[in-house]
Amino acid sequence: MMLPLIPAIILSSIVTAVACALVGSFLMLRRMSMMGEAIGHAMLPGLVLGLLILGPMGSPQLVLGPAIIGLLMVVAVETLGKTRALAGDSALGLIYPLLFSIGVILVSRRFAGLPITEHSILIGDINFAAATPLYAGELLLGPRPLVVMGAILIVNALFVILFYKELKITTFDPAFGVSGGFNPSIVHYTLMTLVSITIVGAFEAVGAVLVVALLIGPPASAFLLTRRLHAMIALAALIGAGSAVAGFLLAYYTDSATSGTMAMMIGAVFLLVFLVAPKRGVVAHAFRLRRNRKHFAEQMLMLCLEHHGGGQHCPGGMDSENIDSLALHIGWSREYTSEVVRRCINRRMVTHHHGVFVLTPKGKDTVSSLSSDLVP
């Protein structure tokens, strides 16, 4: 039974986003984010050859050609990188434009009659894809992207669940994986194969360029919210699904491109998380920096008082009636010095005794702990 168009689009968006988030989380943690973009470009000649050999777009076997090309590109990039003939990610920048260019030439010239265009490869059309049925013989399976990406989602989820420990070890400590008795390369290339298959399955809906937003955007947002791997994967899937649905609704009511709006929503969510994440956001960092500056100023004041005998007989006459002398001695402005002294007094670190600023017992204990930390 074929679903109505809007539910088909929403469900297709959700399964596509979650399938991408599962493998994209490990791709991002391995610092291979741009490899997803590269595979999305490099798969084009494999897709053209697959169409020529295997038939129409609906053929489930069509994922094999692009996935193999994508995996071969990964092997070629890593092999060229190991030679150290090129610096950094130069090999990636050389190989995937070459493969993508070959694919564009095949589509636009010799095989122009194929049911794909450069436009559909780049940005996709989930609205049209969700309206396209997929049959198994005479049996209607449902909307093509929902069925294809649903199957890919199941495979990705099983891989992550069954090989969670191996993925975790090879992501954070490959050397430990070798000592543990298994080959990290097997896990790595299996992951890259699934990334290739996921990109091939998703390109019809969101395009080869925008699929990188689904692969990397939600995991990047989740990474700012937690450092626990299983929680990060779950959050990435939730953020991806929510962003995809919100992007579709926004595109529907504003009559905008659905795939582009979904990618924009993913970027907007990341920007929001980047700003307000409780521990790693810009706002939290600014508050933490401000707090640290305050604590440092208070410590400087107390160390100064301790250095000069608790505040008595200090050069310049550091008494409560002459805050200017204290400011001049430390090198602060009068207003800032008054603020720091007031905070130290409120925290019962400093008091004034017979017109002289002195450390309280609590302040002396704090200075003693600071001094012990400074001793090598």
The yes-or-no verdict on residue 285 having pLDDT over 50 is yes
Condensed to tens digits (0 to 9), the pLDDT of residues 223-275 reads 999 989 999 999 999 999 999 999 999 998 998 888 888 889 999 999 999 99
pTM, full prediction: 0.80
pLDDT (average), residues 121-144:
76
Least confident of 12-16, 63-67, 195-199, 309-313: 309-313
Does residue 162 or residue 137 have the better pLDDT? 162
Residue with the bigger pLDDT between 105 and 261: it is 261
CA dihedral 216, 221, 222, 227 (to 10 degrees): 100
What proportion of the chain, given as a percentage, has pLDDT over 70?
82
What secondary structure letter does DSSP report for 56?
S
Confidence of residue 309 (pLDDT cuts 50, 70, 90): low
Q: Which domains does the chain have, with CATH numbers?
A: 5-278 (1.10.3470.10), 283-374 (1.10.10.10)
Q: Are strands 139-143 and 350-353 parallel, antiparallel or unpaired?
A: unpaired
Q: At 318, is the pLDDT very low, low, confident or very high (cuts 50, 70, 90)?
A: very low
For tokens 């610096």, the residue is: 87
**Distance (Å, rounded) from C-alpha 163 to C-alpha 255?**
42
Q: Is 352 helix (H, G, I), strand (E, B) or coil?
A: strand
In whole angstroms, give the CA distance from residue 307 to residue 297: 15
Tell me which residue has tokens 């095949």.
106
DSSP character at residue 356: E
Strands, E, within 106-217: which ranges?
Answer: 133-136, 139-143
Would the pLDDT of 176 be above 80? no
State how far the Cα of 156 lies from the Cα of 160, in Å rounded to an integer.
Answer: 6
**pLDDT exceeds 80 at position 321:** no
| Cα distances (angstroms) measured from residue 342 to each of 298, 329, 334, 337, 347 | 10, 17, 12, 8, 9
CA distance 355 to 313: 11
d(CA 68, CA 43): 8
The closest of 31, 28, 9 to 235, measured between CA atoms, is: 28
Question: If pLDDT is split at 50, 70 and 90, which confidence band does 310 have?
Answer: very low
Confidence class of residue 127 from pLDDT cuts 50, 70 and 90?
A: confident
Contact 349, 340 (CB under 8 A): no
DSSP 14: H
> Model confidence over 80-99: pLDDT tens digits?
777 776 665 677 778 878 87
The DSSP element (H or E) to which 257 belongs, if any, is: none
**Average pLDDT for the chain:** 80
pLDDT beyond 70 at 284: yes
Q: How many residues does the chain have?
A: 376
Token reading at 251: 């595109």
Confidence category of residue 173, pLDDT binned at 50, 70, 90: confident
